[in-house]
Amino acid sequence: MQARVPAGLDHKEGEVYRQLDPERLPKHIAIIMDGNGRWAKRRHLPRVAGHRAGVAAVRSTVETAARIGIHALTLYAFSEENWKKRPKSEVDFLMRLLGRYLKAELPTLNDNNIRLEYIGRQRELPPDVRKRMDWAHDSTAQNTGTILTLALNYSARSELVDAFRSMVEVASKNGGVEHLRIDEDAIREHLYTRHLPDPDLVVRTSGEMRLSNFLLWQLAYAEIYVTPTLWPDFRGVHLLEAIAEYQKRERRYGGLNDSQAAGTGSNYSDRNTSRKEKAHHFQGNISKLAHHGE
């Protein structure tokens, strides 16, 4: 039985959605939005034209995610490295673009019941930008649908540094560092994303095969989907195609599938026997070498 198409999806999106199992949608999708500069270069335009064109991709992707009921969508909008390594003119443009985006898209966010959050070192952003961010956040705080998180001035390594600093600070206020508790749960409680489940799916546009210092802790078991589509050309239908690919995969979290766990099948048995034979052969060779050296 085909899935009922949610309201608001266009024809192409509806065709892809019908192939999906609505019960197995990823709860949290993270996207590395890449390719704005290359998109502009191919059209003999300045880089900022690519950033401007990328806003339409954000709008389409966010609306589609909300319409199909994705719990959380995190977009890698502006990295800490961008802040430090890009020309000042480009950074200034991106800050103005962010402010205009938040003002222009607020009605769309509210119409789609989307709550806006941020991760990253916001304190390092310009005061006027932080003020606009706070305004947009507060204006969507009562929404109960998709949680849209923008990663701004974000670095996964900086996030871990901040988490460890926070853990030490909490311990120092609770009797000293001898009370410091370090385990996975404790670290998770101090991450920027502590209010979110870990991403099930990470999408990277433009064909690049790297994570670029994005959610390194949280993506430990995420499925990775890479598309050659440049970010300004990415739309809701591409998000649905990524989900379709995600649903074809078997997620084992380091464990075994049913047939492997049961040890059934001649291939499994043969591999197991082969490993034992190789181990026995290896141990025999070691014994011979030891005897020869005496």
Written as one string, the DSSP assignment of 184-231 is HHHHHHTSTTTTSPPPSEEEE-TT----TTSSTTTTTT-EEEE-S--G
State the residue range of the domain holding 220.
26-154+197-246
Low-confidence stretches of the chain (pLDDT < 50) are 264-294
Say yes or no: 241 and 273 in one domain: no
The answer to whether residue 176 is domain-embedded is: no
The answer to whether residue 138 is domain-embedded is: yes
Left, alpha or beta for 265 (phi > 0: left; psi -120 to 50: alpha)? left
How many independent structural domains does the chain possess?
2
Say yes or no: 288 and 202 in one domain: no
Say yes or no: 210 and 79 in one domain: yes
Question: Residue 164's pLDDT is what?
Answer: 96
The answer to whether residue 187 is domain-embedded is: no
Instruction: Give the sign of the dihedral formed by CA 280, CA 284, CA 290, CA 294.
Output: positive
Say yes or no: 66 and 30 in one domain: yes
**For position 110, which CATH number holds?**
3.40.1180.10
The answer to whether residue 134 is domain-embedded is: yes
Question: Residue 255's pLDDT is what?
Answer: 67
pLDDT tens, 172-188? 888 888 778 899 999 99
The answer to whether residue 76 is domain-embedded is: yes
Say yes or no: 213 and 282 in one domain: no
Question: Residue 179's pLDDT is what?
Answer: 78
- Residue 141 phi/psi, 5-degree rounding, is -60, -25
Question: Residue 25's pLDDT is what?
Answer: 98
Catalytic (active site) residue 10:
no
Question: Residue 267's pLDDT is what?
Answer: 44
The answer to whether residue 100 is domain-embedded is: yes
Catalytic (active site) residue 138:
no
Say yes or no: 150 and 272 in one domain: no
Query: One of 10, 21, 36, 82 is an active-site residue; which one?
Result: 82
The answer to whether residue 238 is domain-embedded is: yes
Query: One of 10, 34, 267, 270 is an active-site residue; which one?
Result: 34
- Please tell me the distance from the alpha carbon of residue 150 to that of residue 293, in angstroms, as a whole number: 63
Question: Residue 278's pLDDT is what?
Answer: 37
pLDDT tens, 93-107? 999 999 999 999 999
Say yes or no: 150 and 288 in one domain: no
Say yes or no: 48 and 133 in one domain: yes
The answer to whether residue 3 is domain-embedded is: no
